[in-house]
Structure 1
Amino acid sequence: MAAAGPVLGAGIDLVQVSTFRAQLVQPGSTFLRVFTDSERATAATRPAPHASLAARWAAKEAFIKAWSQALAPGPLALADSPELWPLVEVESDPMGRPSLRLHGMVRRAFERDFPQAQLLVSLTHEGDWASALVMICS
């Protein structure tokens, strides 16, 4: 991967893992659907699966914040919808380094806004907190 250029937008999100876990296990919750099969499988291999999913959720939120910031003062082309969340996928390489893969309408809209942009993501969790930072660079 080539070195990133100037930062066009940045987003950060913080999630309380215990609250997040309670939402996941709530009877009738559809919250797990925001994750791809791959994200759920990756989290299941981690020592703290719920914290891993919470960090991935934070990355999805941070991505939307970064995208919105990069477009300011204009709006995002996509309205918030539960169907959009699995289209923002957090992957990990063999060394555990995270990256974002965009799918479908999210990928098309983002590439229309930023055809040459690079997405950088960092995840962390400690104790009852998980966080993610996403930067959009030219």
Structure 2
Amino acid sequence: MIAGIGTDVVAVPEFAEQLARPGTAFARAFTPGERRACAGQDRDPAAQAKHYAARWAAKEAFVKAWSAAVYGRPPVLPEAEMREIEVVSDAWGRPALRLRGAVAEAVRDSLGGVVLHVSLSHDGDVAAAYVVIERAG
């Protein structure tokens, strides 16, 4: 059973500018694994920005899906720690979401077991993500 759906769209050029700012909070939002994936095989900065933007969109889409899943109830966390929402890829490059820490615990407490589905896309100056939260079992 679907518990929540979320989507997010990110303007890549503006996101790249924010990432480039010294001391930006966005730099701390990505795990070492996400940074390695975005760097890829010597990707140029523009290509890296598209991959970072898609991952940011996935994190935001997850938060929206989670909010939809607990509609009518108070927010579970006042502010999600975006680093605890990680986009990972399998050996063939297919994306998935991995939750950690307080976010993983709060999701378990608020929804029980879940299965997460994510789709990432980027085209031109736009990156997008779509997340579905499905109740396990």
Identity among equivalent positions (%) equals 45
Q: Give the letter aligned to residue 53 of structure 2.
A: A
Q: Mind listing any 5+ residue stretches in structure 1 that lack a counterpart?
A: 1-5
Task: Determine the structure 2 residue equivalent to 1:106.
Answer: 103
CA contact 1:68–1:75 (8 Å) conserved in 2: no
Query: Deviations for 1:15-58, whole angstroms, at most 9, x for unmatched residues?
Result: 00000000000133232110001001101006411100100000
Deviates more, 1:49-58 or 1:29-38: 29-38
Residue-pair matches, total: 131
Task: Determine the structure 2 residue equivalent to 1:76.
Answer: 75
TM-score w.r.t. the length of structure 1 is 0.90
Corresponding residue SS for 2:74: coil
CA contact 1:13–1:61 (8 Å) conserved in 2: yes
Corresponding residue SS for 2:86: strand
Any residues of structure 2 matched to 1:20-31 within 5 Å, and which? 20-31=15-26
TM-score w.r.t. the length of structure 2 is 0.91
Q: Mind listing any 5+ residue stretches in structure 2 that lack a counterpart?
A: none
CA RMSD of aligned residues (A): 1.2
Any residues of structure 2 matched to 1:31-42 within 5 Å, and which? 31-42=26-37
Corresponding residue SS for 1:111: helix
CA contact 1:119–1:134 (8 Å) conserved in 2: yes
Aligned partner of 2:7 among 5, 8, 12: 12
Any residues of structure 2 matched to 1:46-61 within 5 Å, and which? 47=43, 48-61=47-60
Q: Give the letter aligned to residue 101 of structure 2.
A: G
Corresponding residue SS for 2:75: coil
Shift of 1:8: 1.2
How far apart, CA to CA, are the structure 1 residues paired with 2:110 and 2:24? 33
Query: Deviations for 1:63-121, whole angstroms, at most 9, x for unmatched residues?
Result: 0000000110112210115xx11000000111111111000110001011222211100
Task: Determine the structure 2 residue equivalent to 1:97.
Answer: 94
Corresponding residue SS for 1:80: coil
Regions of 4+ moved over 6 Å? none
